[in-house]
Structure 1
Amino acid sequence: MLFPYTYVPHSMEKMQGFIDFIFLDVWCKAPGAGPFGLHLFNANPELQEVVTAFHYSDAQGANFFNGHVQNIHGLFAALPPAQIGQLQAWYHGNNNLEQACANNPASLLARYADLDALAPELGQQLATFFKGLYSQSLLGLKALRDKIGDIDDHYQAFVKANATGKCPFCGLSDLFGEYHSKREAYDHYLPKALYPFNSINFRNLVPACHHCNSSYKGSKDSAYTPKDPCSKQVRRKLFYPFAPHPWHVEVQVSLHSSAHENLQPNDITLDFGPPEFAEQIDTWKGVYGIEERYRAKLCGEDARDWLEQALTQQRWHDESQGAKGRPASAYLQEIAEYAHERPWANANFLKYGFLQACAATGMFQAASRSLRAPQSEIATRGSV
């Protein structure tokens, strides 16, 4: 992740508060609490109003919500204290996204496979419930929407506070913004297909471009390494999307060919830093296909145009004896300033690295020598 988002408080957070209450104060207290009933929500009047309205509704989302809350309550009622304690620890761990991303060993992280191993029937019910929470058929119901607000309103507040307009997971794609009638999908940073309890936690919901969200990340397990030949996985660090202190990912480009008109992915080496974020950077690169995508960008028309702009400036400078254009060194300095001040606009962070690499291969010097060569020499070169 090239840069973190600013977290935006919103009334939609109430939904996570409702789920906290259901899990910790209704389900985990089910043993010995007697039969399920609306009285169990007395301590949370707003949630009680919602479940009461759902009780008298025939909407699919209302039946889904209340039905699962009641069924899961019955399954919790039969659990011993040790299993209740384990589920509570997993619930807190999965919802502490900052510690989960830091791979803090004190913060437990559970997947649905862990729930299935603990209590298979309960695991299946929890999977259906939490995977179905992030659904317009539920979130769009008036009784709930009146309490928590609307996700489209959250998106508008979010893009106003995060106004770069670029996807922070790649730095290449534009995001729908304040003046669009559409919005980006929210990605479940820890995938809801794999991780219970946090599917409606807005610290686990991050707008991402379609390429990052769907084409590359999908349901990859971002918190674990891919399976090795022995099917073993290990926990790993990943960038926390709402980190309070920004970081700066460095991208250095090296080219192994000066044939810029026919540059191939294998001609490009990408190095990333700084070293203190090496593990997070490796996770980010693997999950979002960063190296493949950056190489493809540098082999495409945008990069050819970046180079052509620089060569054109130098050609004008050489042909006019300095009256027009700029030498390559001056142009690169200007791009360096853009990359420092506005790295994500126009992919300046990648543009500068690419042009630096072009300079290192001697492309600008070769172009300048070609312009200064006598016409007879140029003709001779062309006939070889």
Structure 2
Amino acid sequence: MLFPYKFIEHNICRLNDWIEFLFIEVWCKADEEYSLDLLNGCPDLKKVAEEEAWKEDSSKKPNDYITGPISVIYDLFKTELDVKQRKNLRKKFRKSRNLEKVLSHSKYYDVLENTYIESLSPILAKKLYEFYSNLFDNVLKLAVIKDKNGTLKNHYDAFVKINTTGICPFCGINTIRSYEMAGHEAYDHFLPKEKYATYSINFKNLVPTCHDCNSIHKLRRSPIFDFKVGQNLRAFYPYSQNALDIDIICNVNIKNYKDYGHRHITINFKGKSRFEQDKKICLI
């Protein structure tokens, strides 16, 4: 990134808080018969689950993205994982929530990958992936959620009123829509949900980007791990409040302008920050 975004607090972010409560205080403590009373510690989530409960009847057509999946996943936590596994998963989930420290691979903080859950239970991993994917793709669009927390467009309009550069921070080339324009830019999952599903609704992992960066260049690439060579990468936190101490050096070596190509350009970087010690850094 060329510059960080400023994070904004917005009602829409509450959904992630509700789901974190669900994971930590309900699913990872699954040891009794499931009931909606287990959600008493998060009244807002319980109310949403109650209002959506009628969709559990598949004959009524609308898709059930909340109430049924919550109970199904609860039962899988209880039957697929033993007490120690649930405890360890709860601990790992907690350690994964500070995204800034996760991106820099700080000690005591670790990313929660889909493959880790898969190693415990493939069926649980599958159901969790479906649930978290639907949170962003479908649950945010439900009337009950929009009434309580607002819409992505509401969030985007508030976001670009604070982040006023008007330029995509990933490429520094393309503009992004202002709040006065119809629609909004795509929200890139900085940690892609295909590999890290539990971050799918975390707005500290959701960053508006231009079409080219989101749909052509980054795609499902992980900013913290190079899967081809099996090497960790450190990534810049999109909402960092710390200035980036990085110098980007571009060298152009052209003897014949008619024979110009990418091979004639080299880009390197250096800096005094902790990133200088790393062999590889993700610059997306």
Paired residue for 1:256, among 233, 238, 253?
Answer: 253
The corresponding residue for 1:115 is 117
Q: For residues 99-114 of structure 1, what are the structure 2 equivalents within 5 Å?
A: 99-114=101-116
CA distance in 1, matches of 2:105, 2:15: 26
Question: Against the structure 1 CA distance between its residues 144 and 89, is the aligned structure 2 distance closer, same or farther, given a 3 Å change threshold?
Answer: same
Matched residue type, 2:187? Y
SS at match of 1:99: helix
Give the aligned length: 278
Question: Against the structure 1 CA distance between its residues 39 and 196, is the aligned structure 2 distance closer, same or farther, given a 3 Å change threshold?
Answer: same
CA distance in 1, matches of 2:45, 2:104: 33
Q: For residues 1-384 of structure 1, what are the structure 2 equivalents within 5 Å?
A: 1-31=1-31, 34-57=32-55, 58=60, 60-61=62-63, 63-78=64-79, 79-135=81-137, 137-228=138-229, 233-257=230-254, 259=256, 263-276=260-273, 277-278=275-276, 282-285=280-283, 288=284
C-alpha deviation, 1:10, in angstroms: 0.4
CA distance in 2, matches of 1:43, 1:257: 65
CA distance in 2, matches of 1:279, 1:171: 26
Q: When you count helix as a share of all residues, which structure comes out higher?
A: 1
C-alpha deviation, 1:59, in angstroms: 6.4
C-alpha deviation, 1:275, in angstroms: 4.9
State which drifts further: 140-149 or 197-206.
140-149
CA distance in 2, matches of 1:244, 1:129: 32
Matched residue type, 2:232? R
C-alpha deviation, 1:249, in angstroms: 3.6
CA distance in 2, matches of 1:20, 1:116: 19
CA distance in 1, matches of 2:53, 2:178: 38
Identity %, equivalent residues: 31
CA distance in 2, matches of 1:59, 1:91: 34
Matched residue type, 2:35? G
C-alpha deviation, 1:258, in angstroms: 5.7
C-alpha deviation, 1:238, in angstroms: 0.7
C-alpha deviation, 1:279, in angstroms: 6.7
Q: C-alpha root-mean-square deviation of aligned residues, in Å? A: 2.1
Question: Against the structure 1 CA distance between its residues 158 and 219, is the aligned structure 2 distance closer, same or farther, given a 3 Å change threshold?
Answer: same
TM-score of the pair, normalised by structure 1: 0.68
Contact between 2:103 and 2:224, CA under 8 Å: does it hold in 1?
yes
C-alpha deviation, 1:120, in angstroms: 1.9
What residue ranges of structure 2 are gaps of 5+ in the alignment? none
TM-score of the pair, normalised by structure 2: 0.90
C-alpha deviation, 1:170, in angstroms: 1.3
CA distance in 2, matches of 1:123, 1:134: 17
Contact between 1:238 and 1:280, CA under 8 Å: does it hold in 2?
no
Question: Against the structure 1 CA distance between its residues 281 and 246, is the aligned structure 2 distance closer, same or farther, given a 3 Å change threshold?
Answer: farther
C-alpha deviation, 1:217, in angstroms: 0.9
CA distance in 1, matches of 2:62, 2:278: 41
The structure with higher relative contact order (CA 8 Å, sep 6+) is 2
C-alpha deviation, 1:40, in angstroms: 1.4
CA distance in 1, matches of 2:277, 2:234: 6
Question: Against the structure 1 CA distance between its residues 51 and 41, is the aligned structure 2 distance closer, same or farther, given a 3 Å change threshold?
Answer: same
What is the CA deviation profile of residues 66-103 of structure 1, one whole-angstrom value per residue up to 9, with x for unaligned ones?
Answer: 11100011111233221112211232233221111111
Q: When you count strand as a share of all residues, which structure comes out higher?
A: 2
SS at match of 1:158: helix
Contact between 2:26 and 2:38, CA under 8 Å: does it hold in 1?
yes
Contact between 1:112 and 1:123, CA under 8 Å: does it hold in 2?
yes
CA distance in 1, matches of 2:258, 2:279: 30
CA distance in 2, matches of 1:94, 1:65: 23
Question: Against the structure 1 CA distance between its residues 172 and 59, is the aligned structure 2 distance closer, same or farther, given a 3 Å change threshold?
Answer: farther
C-alpha deviation, 1:117, in angstroms: 0.8
State which drifts further: 3-12 or 105-114.
105-114
